[in-house]
Structure 1
Amino acid sequence: MSQAMTDNMTDRLNATHDLVASDQVEGTAVYSPSGEKLGTVKYFMVDKITGAVAYVVMSFGGFMGMGNSYHPLPWKSLHYDRDRGAYIVALTREQLEAAPAYTENATPDWSGTTYGAQVDTYYGGLPHA
C-alpha cells in the first residue's frame, strides 16, 4: 500500500464522527464535570479477546511529566465532550486521588484479574459521566 493511500485512510479514520484513531485519544484532556482539568489520557487498555476498550489510563499530577501517577478508569466512565474536545469523568480530584493508581516504576500486573477487579470495585459505586 502506498504512503498516500495510508495517509488517506488515516485522515478518514481521524475524521469519522463515531470512530477515533488511538493516537488521537492519547494526550486528550480529562476534566471533571465542574471544568477542573484532572489529567490527560496516557493510553488505553484493550481486551485482546473481545477487542473492547476496558480502561483508559490517565496521567494525573506531577509537573512537566515528573511525579505523575497513572489512574486506570473504566472506559465507560468517560464521556466525550465535542465542544471541549476533551473527556469528562464524573469524579472529583479527591475521588481520583483515592482511586487505584500506579507510577511508571511500579506498573501493575494486568495479566491476572486482581488489579482490574480493584479498579472495577472502586469505580463500581461512582456515577458515570
Structure 2
Amino acid sequence: MTTQTGHTEAIAASRVIGTSVYNTRDEKIGSIEDVMLDKLSNGIMFAVVGFGGFLGMGEKYHAVPWSALDYVPERGGYVVPFTEEQLKAAPAYSISELSGDDGEAARDASHNYYGVTPYWH
C-alpha cells in the first residue's frame, strides 16, 4: 500500500540509515545514524541524526521525531522543517544516552522541543 504522496508505507531500516538530512534551506545538516524503535507500541520513537563532527569526533546526536522527517526524492534525503538555530539549540546526546531510560527521556525531550505531537497520544 502507498501513502498519499506515492511512497510505500514500509521501508527497511538499512535504507534509512546513512540517508542525508537537510534543513528547509536545502542545506545538508547531517545524516540518519540510527532509528530507535518502541518495542511496546511498534512505533518509531525517533531518528538519531548526527550533526557536525569530523571522522566521528565532535559529532552531536539528536533525537528527531520520525514524523518530522519528510523524504524528498529529488534531494535523495529527508528534510526537517526546523531552522538552523533550532537545530543548533536542540538537545544533544551521546549514542548511549539516547537509549537510556528505554529511550523515553530523549523521545519525550525531542517531541517537546520540536513541538511535535507524540505518536503515542
Global fold match (TM > 0.5): yes
SS at match of 2:67: helix
1:78 maps to a residue whose letter is: L
Deviations 1:92-121 (A, max 9, x none): 2221111111134x6242427433222221
Aligned equivalent of 1:57: 48
Aligned residues: 108
1:1-129 equivalences under 5 Å are 17-18=7-8, 19-104=10-95, 107-108=97-98, 109-111=100-102, 113-124=104-115
The structure number with the bigger radius of gyration is: 1
Structure 1: gaps of 5 or more residues? 1-16
Report which stretch shifted further, 55-64 or 90-99.
90-99
Contact 1:110–1:116 (8 Å) recurs in 2? no
TM-score, reference length from structure 1? 0.75
Counterparts of 1:30 and 1:91 in 2: how far apart (Å)?
A: 11
Root-mean-square deviation (CA, aligned residues, Å) is 1.7
2:76 maps to a residue whose letter is: G
1:122 maps to a residue whose letter is: Y
What percentage of residue pairs aligned between the two structures are identical?
A: 41
Tell me which stretches of 4 or more aligned residues in structure 1 moved more than 6 Å. none
SS at match of 1:46: strand
1:69 maps to a residue whose letter is: K
Structure 2: gaps of 5 or more residues? 1-6, 117-121
TM-score, reference length from structure 2? 0.80
